Amino acid sequence: MTTSSNYECMFILDQNLSKEDTEKAIEKFHHLLTGMGSEISKVERLGKRKLAYEVKGQQEGFYCLLQFKAAGQAVHELERQFRLSDAVVKFLIFRVEPPRVLKVKKPKPKAVPETAAA
């Protein structure tokens, strides 16, 4: 039995793609994940933005964010497809851990020394 983890994936598509080709690329990765039994919770198209530095000769790209729950095998296949796709300029996939609740110890009140009355 494989366990699923929560992931976020940011990928940047080629700036020269048409709107239709951009949507096809996003749908391709969406269908890849759902076909492998993953649950996609969010697909956010952030639009064309300037890159922080030049990548593959490009200064701009179309940013997209995916949030999903998947097994490790699906993540490896998504990464492989990103590397094979000419439309993808750059990508980053990372596992999102659930927030931890930290227990904070309350400091003990300090004893105040009694002052001598004059």
Tell me how far apart the terminal alpha carbons of the chain are, to the nearest angstrom. 78
Calpha distance 49→60 (Å, rounded) = 6
pLDDT band at 1 (very low <50, low <70, confident <90, very high): very low
Task: Identify the structural domains of the chain with CATH numbers, from first to last.
Answer: 5-95 (3.30.70.60)
H or E element at residue 79 = helix 72-84
Structure tokens at 13: 């598509």
- The model's pLDDT over 13-69, given as tens digits with 9 standing for 90+, comes to 998 999 999 999 999 999 999 999 889 998 999 989 998 888 888 899 999 999 999
Phi, psi of 94, rounded to the nearest 5 degrees: -145, 150
How far apart, in Å, are the Cα atoms of 43 and each of 37, 58, 75, 97?
Answer: 16, 24, 16, 19
- The model's pLDDT over 66-109, given as tens digits with 9 standing for 90+, comes to 999 988 899 999 999 999 998 999 999 999 887 777 788 777 77
Instruction: Give the pTM.
Output: 0.76
